Structure formats: C-alpha cells, structure tokens
Structure 1
Amino acid sequence: MSSSHSSRLTRRGLVLGMASLTLTAACGNGVGNNNATMIDARVNATLNEMYTSYPNTIQIAERASGMLVMPLVTEAGFVLGGAYGRGALRINGATVDYYSAVKGSAGFQAGAQQYAHVLFFMTDAALEEFRRSSGWAAGADLEYVVKEQGDSIAADSNTLRSPILAAVFGQAGLRVGATLEGTKYTRIIP
C-alpha cells in the first residue's frame, strides 16, 4: 500500500467522520426542528386547561414572578421508579427558557401515571434562585394549590406568601398521589 493511498484513506475517513459528527450535532441542537414550538404549544394548552379547571390558579399566576409549566410528566415504577418531562419557564407570559424534569424513586411502588404541573415562583428571589441553579430540586416545602385527584386549595393570603407554589393536575394512570418532591429541573435546549 502506497503512502499516498494510505493518506487519502485517512483524509477521506477524517472528512467522512467530521461530516457525520456535524450531522449528529445538528440533529440535537435545535436547528431545523420544531421542539421549542411543540413545547410552547403544549404549555399554552396546559395553562388553558389549568385556568379552566382550577380558576383559583388565575389569581396566583397574576401575582407570580414566573411560572415553570411542565405539560406532561410520565412517571412509572416497579420497586424502582422514575419520571421525565419537558416544559418552559414563562415570565410575564413569555417563554424565557426550557427545562426538563427528572425524578427517581425507590421503595414499594407499582404502576404508571401521567400528569401536568406548574410551579409558581411567588417572589423574585425564588425565581432568581431557580434560574441561577444548575439543577434545582423540589423539596418537601412546596405549598400545593392543586394536588392529588384535582383537589383545589383556595389561594388565601397565607398560601400566597409561600415563595413557591405548585399545581399538579390531569393525573391519568394507576399511581395515586403525585408529588414533586425530589424532582430535579435542569435547563435544556430543545
């Protein structure tokens, strides 16, 4: 095998390798796809459903500094479980970032469910802390305004003082008692 033939194969392999790497990168970077448009459409539909089904959330949304809307989270488990969903952070009605929600769990559990949820950031400080974090995790201190089988909790003055409020609704499936505790939210590029 000659030296020029060997280098031609190497150059050809390098060019083909770079071309495939570029195509692979382009597929995942959001260029030429409609992931953001699809997420925004689902967020709009989720907000419309929430406002119609739970009118108490309108007042909460009007007072919130921002809202993280997760239109569809799928949670499943058999001893070990997990959940995943994608959504958008809205400030003054406009999408500013996209996020994924991931949750893992262990213990006695079986079944699957899908649900939507909205986090209302009631203070600028809570919103800023969420946006600055590289991976924010929901804790047990969340105050729920819609939870379980769609029970609606009034938005009284005590509730509205909480830095972060949560609405979990639209549950479908065999698992009961959706909770956001332990869910980790990470900024994504759709």
Structure 2
Amino acid sequence: MTWRTATSGVAVCAAALVAAGTGSGAAQNDDDTRRVAAATVVLNEMREAPDKAIPQSIYDNAEAIAIFPSVKKAGFIVGGQWGRGVISVREAQTRAWSSPAFLTLTGGSVGAQIGGTEIDLILVIMNRRGVERLLANEVKLGAEVSAAAGPVGRAAEASTDLQLRAEILSYSRSRGLFAGATVNGSAIKEDLDANRRFYGRPLSSEDIVFDRAGHAPASVTGLKAALNRTAAR
C-alpha cells in the first residue's frame, strides 16, 4: 500500500459521510479504520526513508507517537490546518505500544519548512508529562505543552537546547520531503466519537492507551507492529 492509496481511500470514505441514510454509521466506522491504516503507512514510509527523516534515537526514547495523515493546510507560512490522527503510548514497564486512540488537530500552522497543501505530521512525545498533557480533552501546543521542530537525520547530533527540552518533537512530510515542523498554536483534542465507533463503547483516550479498552479491533495489529519495528523497547 502506498501513501497515496491510503489517503485516497480516506477521501472516498469521507465523501460517503455526506450521504444520509442508515449506512452512515458503518461508513464512519470504516473511515476510522482507514485512518489507522493511513497512519501505519505514514509511519512505515517515514521509517524507511533513505535519509532517515526521524533519527532512530528519537524513536527509541519516545514515550508516545501521534500520527496525522494528510493534514490540510489552509495557508502557507501563515494559516490554519486541520487533520485527524491517532496516538499510541508506551507502557511504562514493558515498553509495549498501546492500541491507538483518536485525535483531531486544528488551528495553528506548520510553518514554512516545506510546501504543499497537505502534509503528513508525526508528533514524537518525549516524556510522560507530555503524554499526560496530550491526552487531556484539549491542549494547545506551545502553550500548555512545549513543542519544537524535531532534528532530521544526522542533525540530531546538533540538537538545540530547545529541542532537547521540548516535550514534543514534530515532523512533517510533503511531496516526499521531510522536515521538522513548527506546530505551536495548534490545538489537539480527543476524538471521542471516533473512539466510541471504533471500540464499540464510550472511551476516553486515556482508557484506550492505558489498556482499559478491553479487546481492540484486529485492524490495530498493523499499526502496533509498525511501532514495534520502529522504536526499540
């Protein structure tokens, strides 16, 4: 599966949501499944990039990873953005990755590192405080939790103090190009409707990532396997 295949599938499913009728709930649930699949593709392709966009040391020290495929940019340099994604958190003792909880991202701007009207965005959360803040009902990056554009490739060795202190390191990809992404001003919120549809009952993001969700759909297997390949325990 390619990134374009995954994102085009999401677009098709999103169009189906416009239609009224008894099948709308099933269409939405399928859209959530496609969101997980698209996030898996983005993670795999970023990991396999020849320039090693996100340094392995960043992955290995991560406490959580949030992935937002196909974030829509409303403007270039100055402007808003909108996207939907998922987050997985490492269990403190075993370092195993959790089932994904669903998130939305709005406002702010990814800055001018790369162009394009759509980007893939990965947020690497580096400590437990950052995890707790991101799992709150809604959090603004740069205000309630510190975020910085992450170092790319060998640049990790020259990380600035700001990057080393940041609770979240952000990365973006557009048209095959990778860069650290400035996301300050963006708001991240729990997607409680998607959590409920996907897991079959009302659940908070904390319920899901801290293993209080019970049995997870089989479609999470690919994402959890990709996370285990990407970040060592």
TM-score, normalising length: structure 1: 0.65
* CA deviation vs aligned residue, 1:33-54 (integer Å, no higher than 9, x gap): 3122101111111111111222
**8 Å CA contact 2:148, 2:181 repeated in 1:** no
Of 16, 21, 43, the match for 1:47: 43
Q: Indicate yes or no: 2:176 matched with 1:185.
A: no
Distance 1:75 1:68, change over 3 A: same
Larger radius of gyration: 1
Q: Which whole-Å CA distance do the structure 1 matches of 2:77 and 2:60 have between them?
A: 40
1:33 is paired with a residue of what secondary structure? helix
Distance 1:63 1:25, change over 3 A: farther
Matched AA of 1:114: E
2:47 is paired with a residue of what secondary structure? helix
Distance 1:97 1:156, change over 3 A: farther
1:89 is paired with a residue of what secondary structure? strand
Q: Which whole-Å CA distance do the structure 1 matches of 2:181 and 2:54 have between them?
A: 20
CA apart distance, 1:90: 0.9
Distance 1:67 1:166, change over 3 A: same
Aligned length: 155
CA apart distance, 1:31: 8.1
Distance 1:27 1:78, change over 3 A: same
Q: Indicate yes or no: 2:147 matched with 1:167.
A: no
Residue equivalent to 2:61 = 63
Structure 1 unaligned runs (5+)? 1-22, 106-110
Q: Which whole-Å CA distance do the structure 2 matches of 1:178 and 1:167 have between them?
A: 5
Residue equivalent to 1:33 = 29
What is the root-mean-square deviation in Å for CA atoms of aligned residues? 3.5
**8 Å CA contact 1:60, 1:155 repeated in 2:** no
Q: Which whole-Å CA distance do the structure 2 matches of 1:128 and 1:186 have between them?
A: 13
Q: Which whole-Å CA distance do the structure 1 matches of 2:156 and 2:107 have between them?
A: 28
Structure with the largest fraction of strand: 1
Of 115, 118, 124, the match for 2:119: 115
Matched AA of 1:95: S
**8 Å CA contact 2:53, 2:153 repeated in 1:** no
CA apart distance, 1:162: 3.1
TM-score, normalising length: structure 2: 0.54
Residue equivalent to 1:95 = 99
Q: Which whole-Å CA distance do the structure 2 matches of 1:104 and 1:56 have between them?
A: 22
| Percent of residue pairs bearing the same amino acid type | 25
Matched AA of 1:101: L
Q: Which whole-Å CA distance do the structure 1 matches of 2:78 and 2:164 have between them?
A: 35
Residue equivalent to 1:142 = 147
**8 Å CA contact 1:122, 1:164 repeated in 2:** yes
Structure 2 unaligned runs (5+)? 1-19, 91-96, 110-114, 195-233
Residue equivalent to 2:129 = 125
Distance 1:156 1:56, change over 3 A: farther
Q: Which whole-Å CA distance do the structure 2 matches of 1:115 and 1:85 have between them?
A: 9
Q: Which whole-Å CA distance do the structure 2 matches of 1:128 and 1:118 have between them?
A: 17
